[in-house]
Structure 1
Amino acid sequence: MKVRDAMTKEVKVAREDSTIEYVANEMKNLNIGSIPVCDINNKLLGIVTDRDIVVRGLSQGKGGNYTIKDVMTTNPVSVSPETSIHEATDIMSQNQIRRLPVVDNGTLVGILAIGDVAVRDNFIDQAGDALSSISEPSKPSM
């Protein structure tokens, strides 16, 4: 099975100049924890998570009027629609992330969440293994 078969195709995106407050409210309204950041042509520029907003934003004195560009993760890990589900869950595990933007020639075409994999009967074990690895505490670098 390929990522294209399991990904969410309708994805809410933010622009770099969106305010932290606007994106946080979108996350709340949609009950999601991350939003890809794209330009007007849907080229993936980054991703912002609820954790980014707190750790890189609010805890650093950047309130709701700052822009997402101030707190987003640039150059996010992503996959193509043709990536296998097995490879995608390995990438999630290795990078300790729960959501992968799906890009085709740099353009966002979807997002694959660990939950998208977990609801597929033949991938329940892989999703569980990936979630275990994602949830492990990071080892401090020496």
Structure 2
Amino acid sequence: MKVKEIMTTRVQTVSESCTMKEAAEHMKSLDVGSLPVCNNSNKLVGVVTDRDMVIRGLTSEINSSTPVRQVMSSNPVFVSPDTGVHEAARLMAKHQIRRLPVVENNEIVGIVSIGDLAVRDIYVNEAGDALSSISESNNSMM
């Protein structure tokens, strides 16, 4: 099975000049914890998470009008629509992330989450293994 078969295609993104306040409002209205960040050409340039905003934003002299480019994670891990779901799960575990942007022709076309993998019965074990790897690393930092 390929990522394109399970990915969410209606992905909300923010521009790199979007303020932290605007990004937080988008996250709240969409009930999500991360947003892909694109440049003016709709090319993926980063991902901003609620954690980025708290850890990188609030611990620095940054305020709600600061552009997300200052707190986002640059060089995001992403996959193509033709990437297999097994590989997507492996990448999530390796990079300790729960969501992977899906990029085609340098434009974001979707996003696949650990939940997308878990709801497919045959990938429950891989999604669980990926989440376990992510969670173990997060717990070791506490």
* TM-score band w.r.t. shorter chain: over 0.9
Runs of 4 or more above 3 Å deviation: none
In structure 2, what is the equivalent of residue 103 of structure 1? Answer: 103
Does 1:14 find its partner at 2:47? no
Normalising by structure 1, report the TM-score. Answer: 0.94
**Shift of residue 42 of structure 1?**
1.7
**Shift of residue 39 of structure 1?**
2.0
**Shift of residue 40 of structure 1?**
3.0
In structure 1, what is the equivalent of residue 41 of structure 2? Answer: 41
Does 1:94 find its partner at 2:94? yes
In structure 1, what is the equivalent of residue 137 of structure 2? Answer: 137
Helix, strand or coil at the partner of 1:69: helix
Q: State how far apart, in whole Å, the 2-side matches of 1:106 and 1:91 are.
A: 19
**Shift of residue 118 of structure 1?**
0.7
Q: For residues 101-127 of structure 1, give each alpha carbon's deviation from its aligned partner in whole angstroms, at most 9, with x where no partner exists.
A: 100122111011101111111111111
Q: State how far apart, in whole Å, the 2-side matches of 1:95 and 1:23 are.
A: 23
Q: State how far apart, in whole Å, the 1-side matches of 2:20 and 2:44 are.
A: 18
Counterpart of 1:108, as a letter, is: I
Normalising by structure 2, report the TM-score. Answer: 0.94
Q: For residues 13-70 of structure 1, give each alpha carbon's deviation from its aligned partner in whole angstroms, at most 9, with x where no partner exists.
A: 0001100011011111111011000123321111101111111111112110101011
Structure 1 runs not aligned, ≥5 long: none
- Alpha carbons 2:96, 2:137 under 8 Å: kept: no
Structure 2 runs not aligned, ≥5 long: none
Q: State how far apart, in whole Å, the 2-side matches of 1:64 and 1:30 are.
A: 19
In structure 2, what is the equivalent of residue 31 of structure 1? Answer: 31
Q: State how far apart, in whole Å, the 2-side matches of 1:61 and 1:113 are.
A: 32
In structure 1, what is the equivalent of residue 56 of structure 2? Answer: 56
Counterpart of 2:34, as a letter, is: S
- Matched-pair identity in %: 51
Does 1:80 find its partner at 2:80? yes
Q: State how far apart, in whole Å, the 1-side matches of 2:22 and 2:93 are.
A: 30
